[in-house]
Amino acid sequence: MKPNDYNTSYKPTWCPGCGNFGIWAAIKAALAELNIPAHKVVITWDIGCIGNGANTIKCYSFHSLHGRALPVAVGAKLANKDLTVLALAGDGGAYGEGTNHLIHAARYNSDVTLIVANNKSFSLTTGQASPTSDLGYVSKTTPWGEIKEPINPMALSLVSGASFVARAPAFDLPHLTKVIKQGVAHQGFSHVDVLQQCVTFNKVNTVAWYRKRIYKLEENFYKSNDIKSAIDKCLESNKLPVGIFYEKKKKGYGQLLDKTPKIKAIDQEIKFDKKMLGEFK
């Protein structure tokens, strides 16, 4: 497979310079490097700017409700364990409306990959403050500056039980591709937070702003097998580490739930006792 094999006839409608272009390219490149055919891939999309790309990757796609991309993804994987399942959401959908789903998908260790386009704002609805907006962020909903503490999604995911947690910038395509590839290949719940620029509404967290602060964990002799070290890295505020924070092998929700591992759920015979009909009359 090659990245262009996942193209459709539809073109993205994102603003020129949007970080979603990097995410779009990295997903296709990662799937190609893993040589996963398009008919073996399912992507569930949230509502938001990232969701506007739902028809731009050739695979099975489901455009979910706001904050509900993860439960659809978990259901698809449980129904057909042979599929590679990704859920794509923005910081609003993943860390606002969908926070409960993030916690429980991590707790279950469901074998899906959550990729979050985190631009620290609700950009589709013209730039309101989101759960990850920094203190002091000025927007239509916070005209005097954000006063609420931003959520720490990666730390939340870690303490909830996620077995793969990583972060990468949208503007570093090789690095983002590598991280997404490793997340997709991981057996269990993978959470990839993408530091994404919004060139139209967020004039604070720009590419230049990120470049001054990020550093790669793999270049600093970091080992990703210790959850305490991973949490410490998530809590760093003066710098922004990127790369794989934590990775652990453990059985996922589907494996533990599956009592007939040789048969996919969609191929199992549904047995119905006619005596039960009386209960539904």
64-77 residues labelled b (16+ CB within 10 A) or e (exposed): bebbbbbbbbbbbb
Residue pLDDT, tens place only, 233-249: 999 988 999 999 999 99
What are the tokens at 165?
Answer: 């947690």
Beta strands in 2-76 (DSSP E): 41-45, 60-63
Question: pTM of the predicted model, to two decimals?
Answer: 0.94
Residue pLDDT, tens place only, 246-262: 999 999 998 888 877 77
Residue pLDDT, tens place only, 129-179: 999 999 999 999 999 999 999 999 999 999 999 999 999 999 999 999 999
Domain span holding position 241: 3-280
Residues 6+ apart with CB under 8 A from 8: 55, 56, 57, 58
Q: Domain holding 86: CATH number?
A: 3.40.50.970
Instruction: Work out how many domains the chain is built from and give that number.
Output: 1
Q: List the chain residues with pLDDT less than 70.
A: 272-281
* pLDDT value of residue 43: 98
**Nearest partner of 30 among 9, 3, 11, judged by Cα:** 3
Measured between alpha carbons, how far is 254 from 163 in angstroms, rounded to an integer?
14
**Nearest partner of 196 among 209, 185, 180, 212, judged by Cα:** 209
